[in-house]
Amino acid sequence: MQTNSFKKANKIIVKIGSSLIINKSGGVKKQVLKNISEDIDQLLKKKKEVIIVSSGAIALGKKKLGLADNINLNQSQAAAARGQIELISSWKNEFKKLNRQVAQILLSPSDTQNKKSSSNAIATLNNLLKLGCIPIINENDTTATEEIKFGDNDILAARISKLINADCLILLSNVDGLYTNPPSKKEKAVLVENVLKINKRIIDMAGEASKHGKGGMISKIKAAEMCLKEKCSVIITSGSKKNPIISLSKLSTKATRFN
């Protein structure tokens, strides 16, 4: 029997993937940002605490700098530096319409693993939440190397969830959730609505990363596994619908829920 952990959650992390908010030409999908921002505004009005983890900086930076899809590490870092301005500005503009303030936080793995750094990160996040300011987190791709990276923002979101003892992590993607077969396969795929335990069968259902994303469904499963150990529920759902977050209060909404 499914339980709706989202309705009970007070501290919520919302992670948005690149493939969800970046269009085919490398720009921001403004309607998607609008829908997500309006939902978060509704959560805040209900006295929920919400932190955003948003991807998209590198994809946006590549467009602005005229770079190709296949770029090296140095070009990727340059794209991240340029694209982060576009990303945070897009979020700021949407929340400004709702009279909400946002704050940008860029984190490296050491910021969540080192005791002193992680304590500082927790204090900053908690203060921003108390001040009514929405933290928007991204990996610090401008200085990270391939050897020193979270891997993708699904893992970063899971780490943040652990740091602040979040109740629920919502992974917004361009798909409804985990399917029994990856979209690339010909066999009929069925949405897995509820996962109580992550085993080999669940892991085998995940496909490859998307064009803009880094980890795809596989990294979402890993993030869910990390969160479940900390008693934090996880929901994977599509962020393309009208009320992608608020609609999760209904169990009929298409999603994969890890409880």
pLDDT at 241: 93
Please give, one letter per residue, the 3-state secondary structure of 108-136. CHHHHHCHHHHHHHHHHHHHHHHCCEEEE
Strand order in the sheet with 168-173: 101-107, 133-139, 49-54, 11-16, 168-173, 233-238, 256-258, 194-195
**Distances 114 to 109, 111, 119, 159 between C-alpha atoms, Å:** 8, 6, 8, 12
pLDDT at 189: 83
Look at residues 150, 131, 149, 160 and name the one whose alpha carbon lies nearest to residue 53: 160
pLDDT at 141: 76
Q: Round to whole Å and give the CA distance between 236 and 134.
A: 21
Per DSSP, the residues of 9-60 read -SEEEEEE-HHHHB-TTS-B-HHHHHHHHHHHHHHHHTT-EEEEEE--HHHH
pLDDT tens for 214-235 read 568 989 999 999 999 999 999 9
148: pLDDT confidence band, cut at 50, 70 and 90?
A: very low
How big is the CA angle at 37 (ends 219 and 19), to the nearest 5 degrees? 35
Q: What average pLDDT does range 54-82 have in this prediction?
A: 91
Q: What average pLDDT does range 140-150 have in this prediction?
A: 65
Look at residues 188, 186, 258, 248 and name the one whose alpha carbon lies nearest to residue 224: 258
Q: What average pLDDT does range 99-125 have in this prediction?
A: 90
Q: Round to whole Å and give the CA distance between 86 and 56.
A: 9
How much is the mean pLDDT over the chain? 89
Q: At what angle do helices 73-96 and 30-45 cross, to 10 degrees?
A: 60
212 pLDDT above the threshold of 50: no
